[in-house]
Amino acid sequence: MGARMSTLHGADTSDWRGRLLRRFVIGVERGVFEDDIEVPFKGAPNKWYRLKMVHSNGLLSVTAWDITESKQHMFELERRGNEDPLTGLPNRHWMTGYLPAALQRAADRNCMMALLFIDLDGFKNVNDTAGHHGGDELLRNVAKRLKVAVWPAYHVVGLGGDQVIG
């Protein structure tokens, strides 16, 4: 309430203020600039602010709201929506967003792309004999081994059940 941004983040040495000013200058032609910005902190989690800047008759009004909690909540929901809770692998939902862009990048670069689909045969028998805990442990181990087996830039995706794409 009535505080200067410099007093809130005076020890910060990053260039977020400069980036913000450049974005504002672009938006000042309209007279109003509104955006969410991420403010880095040395040795602490970043903060998020919702900024609204209004330029009128040579005066500038800036209002900032701390939206860090709501951003963190949104990021957590997005992570949960894109990750298989059992294996920690990206899930089918993540893949449907990622795959079209990856195919387009491969086409634009005139290069090939490989997609490997793996289905664990007899997985139902594992669940029936070792129980769901045993089946879950097998899926976690398979996911871990596949992630280790592929290059870091590659993705292993859990489609659900016993199906994996690598």
* Structure tokens given for 152: 């870091």
Report d(CA 133, CA 13) in Å as an integer: 49
How far is the C-alpha of 13 from the C-alpha of 101, rounded, in Å?
35
Residue from 155, 164, 159, 158 nearest 102 by CA: 155
Backbone dihedral region of 110: left (phi > 0), alpha (psi from -120 to 50 degrees) or beta? left
Q: Looking at the annotation, which residues are catalytic?
A: 162
Of 113, 120, 121, give the one whose Cα is nearest residue 145: 120
Q: Is 76 helix (H, G, I), strand (E, B) or coil?
A: helix
Question: Residues 60, 63, 68, 70: what is their CA dihedral angle, to the nearest 10 degrees?
Answer: -120
